[in-house]
């Protein structure tokens, strides 16, 4: 009887340990270098100019960041085969877009930049956007070659780790930029609150 109880205790501890480690690995797989707080949302005020960059949008057409001067830009990093965090981020972004007025849409632009160019070719990004009901009139999904993307990842402090085909670990970050292309707010974590982002967007828009 004592042996049986001891075995049960060991089994429970082993299963619990596996769940804890498994959960930690899931977080790390999306947020390399992060600890137990990776799931929390932290908002940081910054003043970080972003250099102009050139990528390719979901239509296969060249995209120049400089063309967005004069607009407030909300930018995030995703990849289309992500099983957990990226869909949540995209849902949050879509909620923001949906709640913008027609006038606000003229002055606000959304960008989703891939962390997996091997998979995310323009047509894949377009299909992903359609699944998430993206309105492409003021939201572009961007890809490019690894050299182009690596420069942008570095500018935003994004760590990217390819673990297997279609499985990428990367920093979860969403950035809010002013009309001059300067990052003013950074949301660290899995899926920032759409209502909070919308308030910040409108405050930045009102500030000129």
The pLDDT score that the predictor gives to residue 84 is 87
Cβ proximity of 28 and 116 under 8 Å: no
Q: What is the mean pLDDT of each run of 10 residues along the chain (208 residues)?
A: 46 41 40 44 91 97 97 97 94 97 97 97 98 97 97 96 93 96 92 92 91
- The pTM of the full predicted model, rounded to 2 decimals, is 0.81
Domains of the chain: 31-206 (3.40.30.10)
Look at residue 27 in the predicted model and tell me its pLDDT.
39
Distance, CA of 11 to CA of 13 (rounded, Å): 5
CA angle 85, 68, 44 (to 5 degrees): 45
Q: How many helices (H) and strands (E) does the chain have?
A: 6, 10
């Amino acid at each position: 009887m004592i042996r049986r109880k001891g075995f049960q205790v060991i089994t429970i501890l082993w299963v619990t340990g596996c769940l804890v480690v498994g959960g930690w690995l899931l977080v790390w797989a999306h947020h390399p270098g992060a600890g137990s707080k990776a799931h929390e949302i932290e908002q940081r005020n910054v003043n970080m100019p972003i250099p102009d960059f050139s990528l390719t949008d979901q239509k296969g057409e060249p995209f120049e960041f400089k063309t967005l001067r004069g607009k407030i830009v909300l930018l995030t990093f995703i990849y289309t085969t992500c099983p957990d965090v990226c869909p949540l981020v995209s849902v949050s972004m879509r909620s923001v877009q949906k709640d913008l007025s027609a006038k606000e849409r003229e002055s606000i632009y959304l960008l989703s930049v891939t962390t997996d160019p091997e998979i995310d070719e323009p047509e894949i990004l377009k299909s992903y956007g359609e699944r998430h009901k993206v309105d492409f009139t003021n939201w572009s999904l961007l890809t490019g070659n690894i050299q182009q993307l690596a420069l942008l990842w570095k500018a935003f402090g994004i760590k990217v780790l390819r673990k297997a085909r279609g499985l990428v670990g990367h920093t979860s970050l969403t950035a809010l930029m002013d009309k001059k292309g300067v990052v003013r707010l950074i949301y660290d974590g899995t899926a920032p609150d759409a209502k909070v982002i919308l308030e910040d967007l409108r405050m930045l828009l009102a500030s000129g």
